[in-house]
Amino acid sequence: MGQQRGDRSFWIEAASLPLLLLVWQACAMMVAHRLFPAPIAVFQELWFLATERYLFADLGETLRRAAIAFVAAMTIGVAIGGALGRFRALDRLFASWILIGLNIPAIVVAIACYIWLGLSEFALILAVTINKTPLVAVTMREGVRALDTGFSELARAYRVSFWRRLRLIVVPQLMPFVLTAARTGLSLIWKIVLVFEVLGSDGGVGFRIGVYFQNFDITGILAYTLSFMAVVIAFEYLVMRPLEQRILGWRQV
């Protein structure tokens, strides 16, 4: 009975994307306009861009920028969030800075960085990092605040050394928060890197989508979007979920 239900759930989930393609195809056939291409046309364009044009180079460039910004934002955000969670006075002092950081429009940060630093790679990555860091810091601050005082007592009673305490007691408690910050951060970074590339860069998925936009080439835009989504989904299934399972598998016991 349970097995049958599991099989059915699997097939329902597996049918989800093909169903979306069917709906898209049906809509394209009804609209029948060059600005609403059918999925087949988009996949053909995708193949052409991959084999004859710059799709992989653009994807590589965007992913490289996203990766650098992600690592920088996670590193800085974890450090700031840890300090804010640990020291109440620091949190009081900088809470409003974090609030501003969380709410300042991403586009404003990007434009300011481009104006101050020029249309450079550094400015783009810095802008993405500035946008992402407050979100990581807030998540980590909550993680540090949620540390179990019982485990701290345990460590004190048994005179566990600082580094051992950090490695075996503190970090494992923070990992769910780190993974949450990573997941939400990635979804944010994927999006804003593209926007900032449209604003000012000479390559990458965002830059190419900007060019296609100027030419009203919706097929190219959708082809690039699909390829980027494929990368994001692959990253989710091949990296994030196995990582989560490995690190947080104990929570299922």
Partner 1 sequence: MASGVAVSIDIRAKRFDGATGLLFEGLRLDVAEGEVLALVGPSGVGKSTLLRMIAGIDTTFDGVISVFGKPASEGGPPGFVFQDPRLLPWLSAVANIRAVSPATTMDEAVALLSEMGLSGFEAALPGSLSGGMQRRVALARALAVEPRLLLLDEPFVSIDRKLVRELHDVISRIAEKRRPTMILVSHDPEDAARLADRVILLQGRPARIDSETYLDTPRDVRDPAKILDIVAQLGPKPVSGG
Residues that bind partner 1 (CB under 8 A): 150-151, 153-160, 164, 168-169, 172, 250-251, 253
Torsion (CA) 44, 186, 242, 244 in degrees, nearest 10: -160
Nearer to partner 1, 154 or 229 (CB): 154
Nearer to partner 1, 92 or 164 (CB): 164
- The owner of tokens 């710059």 is 54
Min. distance of Cβ 136 from partner 1 in angstroms? 22
Nearer to partner 1, 137 or 144 (CB): 144
Within 104-237, residue ranges assigned H as helices are 106-117, 121-145, 149-157, 162-165, 171-199, 205-214, 218-235
- The owner of tokens 């991959």 is 50
Helix (H) or strand (E) holding 65: helix 55-86
Nearer to partner 1, 76 or 247 (CB): 247
Q: Are 227 and 46 in contact (CB under 8 A)?
A: yes
Nearer to partner 1, 1 or 157 (CB): 157
Min. distance of Cβ 242 from partner 1 in angstroms? 17
Token pair for 122: 């550094």
Min. distance of Cβ 158 from partner 1 in angstroms? 4
Min. distance of Cβ 166 from partner 1 in angstroms? 12
Min. distance of Cβ 164 from partner 1 in angstroms? 7
Q: How far apart are CA 133 and CA 144, in angstroms?
A: 16
Nearer to partner 1, 170 or 181 (CB): 170
36 conformational bin, left if phi > 0, alpha if psi -120 to 50, beta if neither: beta
Q: How far apart are CA 128 and CA 182, in angstroms?
A: 14
Min. distance of Cβ 147 from partner 1 in angstroms? 13
Q: How far apart are CA 221 and CA 49, in angstroms?
A: 11
- List Cα–Cα distances, 109 to 49, 68, 74, 83, 216, in angstroms: 32, 17, 18, 24, 28
Nearer to partner 1, 105 or 249 (CB): 249
Min. distance of Cβ 174 from partner 1 in angstroms? 11
